[in-house]
Amino acid sequence: MQSGAILGKALNRVGFFSLVYPEYPSRIRGGDNHLQVVFSTEPFLAPEEKINLLLAFGKKNLVIHLPELVSNGWAFEAAEYGLEEIARELGNPLTANTAGLGLLWAVLGLDLTVLEKEIQESLGEKEAILALNLQAVRAGYEKGQVIPDKIKLAGTRQKIMSLTGNEAFVRGILAAQCDFAAIYPMTPINSILTDLAKTEVKIFRPEDEIAGIMSALGAAYAGGRAMVATSGGGFSLMVEGLSLAGMAEIPVVIILGQRTGPSTGMATFSSQADLNFAIHAGQGEFPRIVLAPGDLREAYRLAGEAFNLAERYQVPVILLTDKYLAESRLSVLAEDFKKVKIVIDRGKRPRQLAHYRRYQITSDGISPRAFPGETVFITNSYEHDEFGFSTDEAAIREEMMAKRGRKLANLNGGFEIYGPESAQTTLIGWGSTKEIILSILKEFPKMNFVHFWRLWPLPKEAGEILRQARKLIVIEGNFSGQLAGLIESQTGLKSEKILKDNGRPFFREELIKRIQRYD
Amino acid sequence: MIDEKQLSTPEEITWCPGCGAYAVLAALKRAIIQNNLLPRNVVVTYDIGCSANMVNFLNVCGFATLHGRSIPVAVGIKTVNPSLTVIAQGGEGGIVTEGANHLIHAAQRDDDITVILNNNYVFGLTTGQASAATPRGAITRSTPSGNPYEALSALELAAVAGGTFLARTLAVDLKRTTEILSRALEHRGFSLVEIVQPCIIWAKEIKTPTPFWLEKPFTTAMEVIGQSNFFGILYNYK
């Protein structure tokens, strides 16, 4: 994993956009563990079915992956090229990976000092390990020198950075000044927990996800900005808490990292099958916001904005991600990433505390929010009156449902359009498919692409925009076409569906072929 | 100095006449006054059930949470604002049955909250079914031939897990309950006060143990195990 990050970042240093997509089984050591590294001078990358360079550790891995190699591609087996011997001599088997990076770097015809610099930056804190790895990369690079006809590559002169989706989330969470995160470990959101543990955010590793969401609701109620992160199984346990957040009007951010279900499914593989679950989970009816970023800038911006939306509207906000976006390393122009600004908005607070009513009826449905320590007030999972006292009165119930129901009436935006403004055929996607679809869009100049980053409430403009096309093609990573169903239920519009539900993201060649059938 | 009136709400109290909850409400008000706490700095997270309806009657920052979940909500509140006095309330249905996991882990972490367990021996609000803390042999509406299981004790669970203040009291003994609650609210770390208040509607047949009031707490938490007749502060690690 770490070698993949080093390679991806080193490629950024020489001016390439890189995508590092990991696949691994649900075990700690061994198995068919692999990384695909895609890079280009163009932004927007997608995983590929076919590869040009293969570096395998062990004959077995070589045999498994050889069919993926293009006809004029190159395959290297670590032992054959002396990489394992280098590691043996250095006395640390893990350095074989770094030697492999050196070999690949030489084959690509790139400057060794750049790779060395990246290794220094990535491993700099551990001096002894750094020294070993620098020796390994140089030795590996030497091995690569003996290969004739090396590729000579040149990158752009732009400053490119890369992060995993989870890392972009963590930056957004920190920019939003989150105070409290309750996270029970679960793939694919584990690195959010381990990265936040190094920061000022108060981390709570709860006894279960029920305690996770409940403690986050307590933290938010007490005046903190609070979040949880989990996958579908953990979110299942959080559902009663989600409904409580709706009723008691407590802001909370829920990161839901989708992986292949149902149940334990394929625990380390990707999926977009929890959209309906996120939108519909919970007893009763209450407002919520569901966001699904598709690239690093969106992941950063929406992770930050989620806290603002939660506090502005006093609702739960669900941030949908998936294993592909969470753990893959994507690239972005550094200056574009820096342009994204997160400005903190803590929502409506009481101007005065005398006769304070926690659930005051207001025209926008939003009641000023006080915190314990400021004044006495009641917060309630039961239906309640303006003061928070429990009630079964029909008239108050109707008023309160209407009040909560008004809160999201003015939500704007939620989607982006790429390609021609009007087109006969519109491709539609959400969340992590964004860059993959953008990477193939130039193959279909007559089509445009609508990317939804807010799924609930589905943007008001959706119907109007989608009605302009004669044909709609929804591309999503699930078995039944959940966004297609959502669009139909909200707008009456029917779509063609390009679906994939085998745990892997869409591959570039595959997606082009499947769209061509409609061209 | 605040008085009992300031801790009351205008809401009509809905408990059955003679219910132990009245005495618990009175004792808690007195403990808050005795400890000189301001109502706005006291948070009570409530379970769901008869005794949890206190959310409408006690004028502090009350939060009616969900069945079994008052403890984790309290933990989140205390983490973000340690200057608040945070109490998690629940019956034996919420604390020992639905939410026992939270009880064990809060005790293990020695979370700085006070858990008030209103033990009325049965599920009251749902009309008298056996809970995990119903005594063995008790005839309830869900155990017509007698409850086959030994009662699970919150205090024993907390003792084993690492709770640092463990007490048992009787609701009807207002003076002792007030004093014990006052000490529990002062305690730094996890405190659990079990208040025995058998349901006067659904636990009429269940015998209340004859209390043996302990003069001095045990020196080790393990001595709490198997002593269901012992009342008072059973363990107080400072």
Model pLDDT, residue B134: 96
Provide, for chain A, the percentages of residues in helix, strand and coil under a 3-state DSSP scheme, each rounded to the nearest 5.
40, 20, 40
Cα–Cα distance, A248 to A287 (Å, whole number): 12
Between A149 and A46, the higher pLDDT residue = A46
Rounded average pLDDT over A68-78: 94
Contact B192, B224 (CB under 8 A): no
B48 touching A, CB under 8 A?
Answer: yes
Residue A316 sits at the vertex; the CA angle it makes with A310 and A319, to the nearest 5 degrees, is: 85
- For A219, the closest of B40, B60, B76 (CB atoms) is B76
B2 touching A, CB under 8 A?
Answer: no
Question: Under 8 Å CB-to-CB from A123, ≥6 apart: which residues?
Answer: A129, A130, A133
Rounded average pLDDT over B22-49: 98
The B residues from 189 to 228 touching A (CB cutoff 8 Å) are none
Model pLDDT, residue A25: 84
Rounded average pLDDT over A119-142: 94
Cα–Cα distance, A257 to A303 (Å, whole number): 13
Which tokens belong to A374? 């400021």
Amino acid identity of residue A125, one-letter, is: E
Q: How far from A515 is each of A19, A228, A386, A474, A509, CA to CA, in Å? A: 23, 37, 54, 10, 10
CB contact under 8 A, A217 and B41: no
Model pLDDT, residue A466: 97
Please state the φ and ψ torsions of residue A318, each to the nearest 5 degrees: -105, 125
Which tokens belong to A285? 């009816």
pLDDT tens, residue by residue, B203-224: 988 888 899 999 999 999 999 9
CB contact under 8 A, A219 and B69: no
CB contact under 8 A, A215 and B48: no
- For A219, the closest of B55, B63, B80 (CB atoms) is B80
Amino acid identity of residue A70, one-letter, is: V
Across B73-216, the runs of DSSP E, i.e. the strands, are 85-91, 114-119, 122-123, 129-130, 165-170, 191-196, 212-213
Which tokens belong to B205? 């047949």
Model pLDDT, residue A458: 98
Distance from CA of B201 to the nearest CA of A (A): 23
pLDDT tens, residue by residue, A172-207: 999 999 999 999 999 999 999 999 999 999 999 999
Q: Give percent of chain B above pLDDT 90.
A: 96
Question: Under 8 Å CB-to-CB from B134, ≥6 apart: which residues?
Answer: B121, B122, B140, B143, B147, B149, B151, B206
Nearest CA in chain A to B14: A390
Q: Is A18 helix (H, G, I), strand (E, B) or coil?
A: strand
Rounded average pLDDT over A149-168: 92
Does B40 score more than 80 pLDDT? yes
Across chain A, mean pLDDT equals: 96
- pLDDT band at B96; cut points 50, 70, 90: very high
- For B76, the closest of A207, A210, A226 (CB atoms) is A226
Nearest CA in chain B to A377: B61
Question: Under 8 Å CB-to-CB from B24, ≥6 apart: which residues?
Answer: B51, B54, B116, B118, B171, B177, B195, B197
Cα–Cα distance, B76 to B71 (Å, whole number): 9
- Partners of residue A372 in chain B, C-beta under 8 Å: 40-41, 43, 61, 77, 81, 84
- pLDDT band at B169; cut points 50, 70, 90: very high
In DSSP notation, A220-286 reads HHTT--EEEEE-HHHHHHHHHHHHHHHHHT--EEEEEEE-B-STT-BTTS-----HHHHHH-SSS--
CB contact under 8 A, A372 and B77: yes
Which domains, ranges and CATH numbers included, belong to chain A?
Answer: 2-158 (3.40.920.10), 163-339 (3.40.50.970), 348-410 (no CATH), 415-516 (3.40.50.920)
Between A151 and A113, the higher pLDDT residue = A113
- pLDDT band at A154; cut points 50, 70, 90: confident
- pLDDT band at A124; cut points 50, 70, 90: confident
Reduce the secondary structure of A221-237 to three states and give it as a string: HCCCCEEEEECHHHHHH
In DSSP notation, A20-58 reads EEEE--SSSS-SS-EEEEEEESSS-----SSEEEEEESS
Cα–Cα distance, A433 to A475 (Å, whole number): 8
- Partners of residue A178 in chain B, C-beta under 8 Å: none
Across chain B, mean pLDDT equals: 97
In the DSSP assignment, the letter for residue A149 is: S
Select from B2, B11, B44, B65 the residue whose CB has the most chain A CBs within 10 Å, as the one to mutate to test that interface: B65
Nearest CA in chain A to B65: A381
CB contact under 8 A, A379 and B80: no
Quote ipTM for the complex: 0.97
- Partners of residue A214 in chain B, C-beta under 8 Å: 65-66, 69, 72-73, 76
pLDDT tens, residue by residue, A270-284: 999 999 999 999 999
Q: Is A428 helix (H, G, I), strand (E, B) or coil?
A: strand
Rounded average pLDDT over A28-47: 90
Contact B66, A217 (CB under 8 A): no
B84 touching A, CB under 8 A?
Answer: yes
pLDDT tens, residue by residue, B76-93: 999 999 999 999 999 999
Does A148 score more than 90 pLDDT? no
Closest CA to A168 of A47, A345, A40, A302: A302
CB contact under 8 A, B72 and A219: no
Does B98 score more than 80 pLDDT? yes
B85 touching A, CB under 8 A?
Answer: no
Distance from CA of B45 to the nearest CA of A (A): 9
Place of tokens 């770094």: A98
Rounded average pLDDT over B50-58: 97
CA A99 to chain centre: 31
- Count how many residues are written for chain B: 238
Does B160 score more than 90 pLDDT? yes
Cα–Cα distance, B69 to A190 (Å, whole number): 25
Which tokens belong to B31? 């403990």
Question: Under 8 Å CB-to-CB from A116, ≥6 apart: which residues?
Answer: A134, A137, A138
Cα–Cα distance, A227 to A252 (Å, whole number): 6
Does A149 score more than 80 pLDDT? no
Does A151 score more than 90 pLDDT? no
CB contact under 8 A, A215 and B72: yes
Question: Under 8 Å CB-to-CB from A29, ≥6 apart: which residues?
Answer: none
CB contact under 8 A, B64 and A382: yes
Does A519 score more than 90 pLDDT? no
CB contact under 8 A, A226 and B65: no
Closest CA to A279 of A249, A320, A220, A224: A320
Contact A253, A196 (CB under 8 A): no
Model pLDDT, residue B205: 87
Select from A178, A180, A213, A221 the residue whose CB has the most chain B CBs within 10 Å, as the one to mutate to test that interface: A221
Q: Tell whether omega for the bond before A262 is within 30 degrees of 0, i.e. cis.
A: yes
- pLDDT band at A153; cut points 50, 70, 90: confident
Cα–Cα distance, A163 to B213 (Å, whole number): 63
**Nearest-10 Cα torsion for A278, A281, A282, A287:** 40
Q: How many CB pairs under 8 A join A and B?
A: 132
Model pLDDT, residue A32: 82
- Partners of residue B78 in chain A, C-beta under 8 Å: 218
Does A30 score more than 80 pLDDT? no
Rounded average pLDDT over A427-444: 98
- Partners of residue A217 in chain B, C-beta under 8 Å: 65, 73, 76
Q: How many CB atoms lie within 10 A of CB B65?
A: 33
- pLDDT band at B238; cut points 50, 70, 90: confident
B183 touching A, CB under 8 A?
Answer: no
In the DSSP assignment, the letter for residue B204 is: T
Cα–Cα distance, A205 to B6 (Å, whole number): 38
Model pLDDT, residue A27: 74
Does A29 score more than 80 pLDDT? no
Looking at CATH, the fold of the domain delimited by B16-236 is given as Rossmann fold (3.40.50)
- Angle of the A2-13 helix axis to the A95-107 helix axis, nearest 10: 30
